[in-house]
Amino acid sequence: MSVPVTDIHMHVVPGVDDGSRSVEESCEMLRLAVGQGVETVFATPHDAAFSDKNSVRTRFRQLREAVREQEIPVALRLGCEMRIYPETAETCLQRLNEGALPTMGGSRCVLTEFDFDNSRQEYLFCADTLIRGGYTPIIAHIERYPNTDLRLAEALKEAGALIQINAYSIADERDPQIRQLANLLLAERLVDFLGTDAHRTDHRPPMLAGGMDAFRRLYGEEYAALVAFDNPRKYLP
């Protein structure tokens, strides 16, 4: 069996960040994702793309239209990947409150990226700022930050954050430390969502099949269905 997958992290809005360069490329990325079992995609441009917020929204609408015309069987929703530092945490909150940055599909959840050089205390401070402001940070690809471990993931979740890992980190990632941490997080059932963090067709294409196979085999169908399907419906309705 294979559950339909929601990919909550893809740079698929064309021409707004370092992701897809054209509507055609975006459609190709979406077809690649659909071929691996994806049925819903959250388009998550980097927050910098929203300095001209109308252009992101216009291009998102153009992409949706193309997806409809080309009959690609995928539901598209808009979010962003918001990078946060302790010094910018209040500004991030303000941009969310003003609607300058979109939450995930209009929910209270925000895909949140930390800086690789910040400390664990700084990560917790950033998450806490968002939580106190009434948002739920979904920590983007937590397995990739060099100073992450299970304790940090637990502390973030205890504070009220949710956790996303990249599907390719489970089985396809070459860095053994990242692959191992992704698997430890799954073994401890600390992961809430999956993403591909796909950027382009020829650079970081949507890569999901290997990770999903390993997920189901190693951690069970039930947990795979929770992360791939049930959680997105619960938290990102």
Smallest distance, Fe ion to C-beta of residue 168, A: 13
In the complex, the smallest distance separating the C-beta of residue 81 from Fe ion, rounded to whole angstroms, is 5
Q: How far is the CB of 9 from Fe ion (least distance, A)?
A: 6
Residue 170's closest CA among 161, 162, 160, 180? 180
State which residue, 192 or 197, has the beta carbon closest to Fe ion.
197
d(CA 142, CA 27): 27
Reduce the DSSP state of residue 212 to 3 states and report it.
helix
CB of 222 to Fe ion, least distance (A): 28
Q: Of the two residues 122 and 197, which places its CB atom closer to Fe ion in the complex?
A: 197
Closest to Fe ion by CB, 171 or 198: 198
Does residue 173 belong to the site contacting Fe ion (CB under 5 A)?
no
CB of 10 to Fe ion, least distance (A): 8
SS3 236: coil
Least distance to Fe ion, CB of residue 195, Å: 8
- Residue type at 220 in one-letter notation: G
Segment contacting Fe ion by CB under 5 A, of 48-56, 61-69, 76-84, 160-168: 76-84
DSSP 228: I
What does the block give as tokens for 118?
A: 């910040």
35-74: contacts with Fe ion (CB under 5 A): none
Least Å from the CB of residue 166 to Fe ion: 9
**Are 25 and 61 spatial neighbours (Cβ–Cβ below 8 Å)?**
no
Asked if residue 197 binds Fe ion (CB under 5 A), the reply is yes
Q: Which is nearer to Fe ion, 44 or 216 (CB)?
A: 44
Task: Give yes or no for a contact between 173 and 208, defined as CB atoms under 8 angstroms apart.
Answer: no
| Beta-sheet pairing, 162-166 with 136-139 | parallel
Segment near Fe ion (CB under 5 A), from 21-29, 68-76, 78-86, 175-183? 78-86
User: How far apart are alpha carbons 122 and 152 in whole angstroms?
Assistant: 11
Running DSSP on this structure, what letter comes out for residue 21?
-
DSSP calls for 36-87: TTEEEEEE--BGGGGGGHHHHHHHHHHHHHHHHHTT---EEEE--EEEE-GG
Tokens of residue 204, six digits: 């970081």
Near Fe ion by CB under 5 A, which window of 32-40, 77-85, 98-106, 152-160? 77-85
- Of 3 and 182, which CB lies nearer to Fe ion in the complex structure? 182
Q: Of 7, 17, 47, 81, which lies in the binding site for Fe ion, with binding defined by CB under 5 A? A: 81
Size of the site for Fe ion (CB under 5 A): 2
Per CB under 5 A, residues contacting Fe ion are: 81, 197
